[in-house]
A and B are shown apart, each in its own frame.
Chain A
Amino acid sequence: MTYKELLYRNSLEAIRRIYEHSKYDEETDLYRINDIINSLNENQFASKEWLVQKLTPFIPEELENVCILGGWYGLLACMISQEVPDETRIHSVDIDPTTRMVGQALLKDIAYVEFKIESLEDWYYGRPKYYDLIINTSCEHMEPEEVRLMANYKKEEAICCFQGNNYHEIQSHINTHNSLDEFADSLGLKEILLKESMPAANGEYDRYMVIGK
């Protein structure tokens, strides 16, 4: 089975378990089913596959520690794990405490990822020099000054890969941009290695990506 097939198999099993649990527990959060499905939708795969494809040439040879900020249920961590040495530590950080349990279920038999449950700011500022690669695909959910600080408060040689978008209509998006250049400028990186945009599969917005140091 490919990693993608395993991921779908595991996600169906996770959804089945939530349904089973809900039969005798009124408090079971059935919205998780929807959230898991959304985390693996066409847009999510497209934007993450794009990221991995563009990022791979810039991944440092001496890669030890990777931080994925706003990692949700670990789709990107899973994909990154396919591209880096087995001994690389991958931390997927999210404030939502359920992401660990769901993420571990989704990544079973595919990848070993450490799910860290904490606010992105608290986690990252506690260990800014630890990571060789910092990825943030949730910039639209974060305060602009926090994103900028994270992009710059790191080991000098560390690579960062940040994604944002112009999807202004979503209520939880508090940090959208009108163009790729505007997004790149907002990060204030010393060196930009790549910046590209990609229209979302549903045609509703453009996703931006910047890789730099």
Chain B
Amino acid sequence: MKPDNIIFVKHGNKYSAEHVNRLRDQLMEYYKCAYVCYTDDPIGVEIECIPCFEKPTLNLWWNKLAMFSKDFPVKGKCLYFDLDMDIKSNPSDFIKDFEGLTIINAYWKRDKFMRKHAYDVRINSSIIAWTAGEQDYIWKHFLTNKDYFMRKYKGIDRFLVHENIHHKIFNDGIVNSVANPYGEQTPIDMYNGINYDLQRTFVS
């Protein structure tokens, strides 16, 4: 099963239009579908841009949660990628399920000690699969107390887990965390926000 939409989120100045265009180029090899970018700055972005909602204003990664709103203007099966991903080969064998919410297993945290009140998590939302509109309750829940959630959780991964949002995980082997190597060939390298300017594999 293939996605109908591949979605990127670019907010602030950590990532540029180049990151969006590069990732689109890499994914185009494997996915012929709609590509959209949810952004506060469409300049230079070569795919369709969806402007960030006027309200509420959110900063950086918190904007990812807007993708789950029923007002987010896409339909069908959705696949999201963080912009610091490097596509090395076809990831389709790992991404087949668009029912519910599917995210990455953070294998590199498997043995990490974490008390519950650390609010750390063993998942990672750098890749997300879902069906448009069906996860609207996540967005609604966030809006009930967003300032408290943004103080309590360092990012949306923690929000999803500790607010008991039901989710599934992709099979291991879909990604290799560059900082914590998986040990086997994976179709995607992820940089977890670090060294995102490193030389990447470009599709010719």
Contacts and interface: CB of A to CB of B under 8 A. Distances in A.
A174 B53 CA distance: 13
Given A171-B59, A171-B60, A31 B147 contact: no
Contact of A174 (B58, B116, B117, B119): B58
A96 interface: yes
A173 B55 CA distance: 14
21 contacts: A30-B116, A30-B117, A31-B117, A31-B151, A35-B148, A35-B152, A38-B151, A95-B147, A96-B145, A97-B145, A98-B148, A143-B57, A171-B59, A171-B62, A171-B150, A172-B59, A172-B146, A172-B147, A173-B59, A174-B58, A175-B57
Contacts of B60: 171
Range, interface on chain A: 10 to 19
Contacts of B59: 171-174
Interface of A: 26, 30-31, 35, 38, 95-98, 141, 143, 171-175
Contacts of B147: 95-96, 141, 172
Interface in B38-67: 55-60, 62
Interface residues of B, number: 18
Interface centre among A31, A171, A173 (most CB of B within 10 A): A171
A143 B58 CA distance: 10
Contact of A35 (B55, B58, B151): B151
A31 B150 contact: no
A143 B56 CA distance: 7
A194 B173 CA distance: 61
Contacts of A97: 145
Interface string B95-120: 00000000000000000000011010
Contacts of A26: 116
A175 to B, nearest CB: 8
Contacts of A175: 57
A31 B119 contact: yes
A31 B145 contact: no
A6 B145 CA distance: 29
Given A31-B117, A31-B119, A174 B57 contact: yes
Contacts of A35: 148, 151-152
